[in-house]
Amino acid sequence: MSGISQEDVAHLARLARIDIPTDQLSHYANQLDAILSAVAQVSKVATDDVPAMSHPVPLTNVFREDIPGVSLAPGQAVAGAPAVEDERFRVPRILDEE
């Protein structure tokens, strides 16, 4: 028999608001026991000499430097637009809100 009882599975199912048929409780108990055994096995790995890290490879900033440059004037930006209103792109309304 597994370390997880059918009552444990039924309790977890109630907490998660999952309807598990009574005849399936044993099946899920065995699966949860296998999962917990695998997690326990991973927890036994010797990691005393491994430094804590958030990523296995050193990360560097891959973004370019933000340098202000010459921009288009509003009139130039909308010059090729199919519809313009008040120097802005006019697009079809997609929401019924104002």
For 6-43, the fitting CATH number among 2.170.130, 2.60.120, 1.10.3470, 1.10.20 is: 1.10.20
pLDDT attached to residue 66? 87
Tokens representing 23 are 């005849």
CA–CA distances in Å: residue 79 to residues 83, 85, 93: 9, 11, 21
Q: Which residue in this structure is represented by tokens 């313009």?
A: 84
Asked if 6 and 26 count as a contact pair (C-beta separation under 8 A), the reply is yes
Outline where 16-87 has alpha helix (H): 25-43, 74-77
pLDDT attached to residue 97? 67
pLDDT beneath 50: ranges in the chain = 1
Amino acid identity at 53? M
Whether the predicted model's global pTM rises above the 0.95 cut: no
